[in-house]
Amino acid sequence: MDLKETIKSHAKDLGIDKIGFTTADDFAALKPSLLAQKAAGHTTGFEHQNLDERLYPDKIFDQPQSIIAIALAYPSKIHDRPPRTGPKRGRFARASWGIDYHTVLDRKMDALMQFIKDTAATDTAIRFKPMVDTGELIDVAVAQRAGLGFIGKNGLLITPEFGSYVYLGEIITNIKFAPDEPMACQCGTCTRCIDFCPPKALLGDGRMNGQRCLSYQTQTKGYMDPEFRPMIRNVLYGCDICQQVCPFNKGKDFHIHPEMEPDPDTVMPELIPMLTLSNKGFKTRFGKLAGAWRGKKPLQRNAIIALVNLHDRSAVPHLLEVIENDPRPMIRATAAWAISELAAAPTAELTTFLKNAQAKETTEEARTEFQNAIDRIVQR
């Protein structure tokens, strides 16, 4: 058995669900599309900013020969729901269940690289550069070329075995491997992901307007545009819609890795307690999730929005306390908007409270949000 087949055979023992190999040739064919996306304002800013490093492996690795792509399947269903405690709950998207997938993938790739070092018979020093989605290369492009699956119209990698519910990682190396066969797109005429995307972020060819993607919207740190607020429903982080409606994901639910198992009470948390969560409490409660990487501010803003979308009028007193006590203008102003949406019987007392709070605001955005809230209440 040659080294490649030995690695493939051992990958399962290392807890790797899919593995493929491709050349270290460039991805220059993607450049026109990426430039067009940037020119159109469709990028999010989360992408690696050096375009050449995203497309040319030799820009980030000395004399690369191959790229190894791996995939780990994650669950799509929670088998044990959180207890019915009464208060409304939010939810994290599936890719943020369990321990942060960057940590899980890093461990798997470390084990894989060590196995290759221990197994390979070569006089040349073996070198690797592993990365997940925070690295330079485009994960789905590498995985597709390595034969793990195809890129769907939603821009995600879709595997025959696990659908799109997979985490991806890749390793550049100076070992030369025979490449696996890429997989062509199998979406055919299906447009379900495009049709069901609430903000119409998907462009139909595997690309998207990242600025309109709800997953991106939940991760921004500023004010969420009112257009998107009802669309996120009660989701605190991410979005699963284009995966949930995909025919290739029907019946896909894999509970292979214990570290990916969701704690129901963590990934479906009560919303009102999140409004006053301390930094320490946030880190203790959510710090291990991938959805915690942007900090507590976006999640608390999203919790306020979710309370509106769930029509939870019991939240109004708590939102008033947020306006009174929270030190962050954006959170206070979002709470004002929420109160204007939830208040069952607006009163002069409530209007006065909001006007007094508005007078204390020092940013134009916050004052505007408060004024819009006051106007909505007055006009009822």
Catalytic residue list: 133
What 3-state DSSP class applies to 18? strand
| Secondary structure of 253-321 in HEC code, one letter for each residue | CCCCCHHHCCCHHHHCCECHHHHHCCHHHHHHHHCCCHHHCCCHHHHHHHHHHHHHHCCCHHHHHHHHH
- Rounded CA gap, 337 and 353, in Å? 13
Rounded Cα distance between 188 and 191, Å, is 9
Exposed/middle/buried for residue 3 (C-beta within 10 Å: 0-12, 13-18, 19+): middle
Q: Evaluate whether 282 touches 87 at the Cβ level (below 8 Å).
A: no
Residue among 297, 376, 379 at smallest CA distance from 332: 297
Q: Are 7 and 171 in contact (CB under 8 A)?
A: no
DSSP secondary structure letter of residue 247? G
Pair of tokens at residue 149 = 């699956």
- H helices of the chain, where? 3-11, 31-39, 51-55, 101-119, 139-145, 192-196, 214-219, 241-244, 264-267, 279-286, 296-309, 316-325, 329-342, 348-360, 364-378
